[in-house]
Structure 1
Amino acid sequence: MLRDTIKTETVTAMKAGDKPRVAALRLISAKIKDRDIEERTKSSSGDDDALVIDVLQKMAKQRRESIQMYEDGGRTELAEQEKAELAVIEEFLPRQLGEDETKAIIESIKAELGAEGMKDMSRVMGELKQRHGTELDMSKASGWVKEALS
């Protein structure tokens, strides 16, 4: 399980004395625990790796936005810290599908569902997220779905 891998990597980084990596891994663990607490109130318990991947994707998105803001503001030292955290987070994410692969998947789902226009966007997006949600940046995929349906 991904959760166990993160714990193992934290111990390894602590033994190696890699403080920035330990800090990033502890941030990941804290976010996962926060999400666990949120999930306790819900009735369904889904796939644990899917939950962890969702948390990691959100953390990665936050880091990318922060990097952009820090670079725009001339705060390169903070941007570098965020880049280091992002690198650690991305180690645990599954390989992301490229643009061409994603567009091919969108076309196949579009054909499968018989989607013809923008009215079918939510159906296509729902199916795309269900099948490939952990392998995609859904914000980019949304633009490609729009493009395919217009």
Structure 2
Amino acid sequence: MAELKERLRTDLTTAMKGRDELRTATLRMVLAAVSAEEVSGKEARELSDDEVLAVLRREAKKRREAAEAFAGAGRTEQAERERAEEGVVATYLPAQLGDADLTALVADVITRTGASGMKDMGKVMGAANQEVAGRAEGGRVAAEVRRQLG
């Protein structure tokens, strides 16, 4: 079994024993998403830690988008709940790159690929996303690549 999935299960048990309602509910939702991913496709399989991380990133993004939607609709209580859930999920994700680190990484990729303009954005994005490896959202990476190429 993937280490990360086992850690999620252990933390769920701890949260249940500690009667931490927010953490319990969030971890249950995340584990349900992991289980759904495992049985999707032609046959059931065990997810690797990288695949579990991808599910966690997707769940964090869902919470962030839901919080924005609730806040935009004036439902601050639900928006705060979604942000709190995103915070729980974020504890299992690798540390995010800061703006300065992302700028330096993109500049390095542009130099290595020999990109000279917006026509090379796809080539730069492919290489940059491999370097970033989930430590920054694709939108942030794309905006930085656009800024440096444009």
Relative to the length of structure 1, the TM-score reads 0.90
Shift of 1:24: 0.3
Q: Which residue pairs with 1:55 in the alignment?
A: 55
Q: Which stretch of the first structure deviates more once superposed, 86-95 or 1-10?
A: 1-10
- Residues 116 and 149 of structure 1 are in contact (CA less than 8 Å); yes or no, is this contact kept in structure 2? yes
Provide the C-alpha distance between the structure 1 equivalents of 2:78 and 2:53, rounded to a whole number of angstroms: 25
Shift of 1:115: 0.9
Q: Which residue pairs with 2:88 in the alignment?
A: 88
Work out which structure has the larger RCO, using CA pairs closer than 8 Å and 6 or more positions apart in sequence.
1
Shift of 1:37: 2.1
Aligned length: 147
Which whole-Å deviations, capped at 9, do the CAs of 1:41-79 have from their partners, x for residues lacking one? 38xx9x812211111111111111111111121111211
Q: Which stretch of the first structure deviates more once superposed, 1-10 or 89-98?
A: 1-10
* Structure 2: tracts of 5 or more residues without a match: none
CA RMSD in angstroms comes to 1.8
* Structure 1: tracts of 5 or more residues without a match: none
- Residues 28 and 56 of structure 1 are in contact (CA less than 8 Å); yes or no, is this contact kept in structure 2? yes
Q: Which residue pairs with 1:110 in the alignment?
A: 110
| 4+ residue runs over 4 A deviation | none
Provide the C-alpha distance between the structure 1 equivalents of 2:142 and 2:28, rounded to a whole number of angstroms: 32
Relative to the length of structure 2, the TM-score reads 0.90
- Residues 2 and 52 of structure 1 are in contact (CA less than 8 Å); yes or no, is this contact kept in structure 2? yes
Which whole-Å deviations, capped at 9, do the CAs of 1:92-112 have from their partners, x for residues lacking one? 010000111011000101111
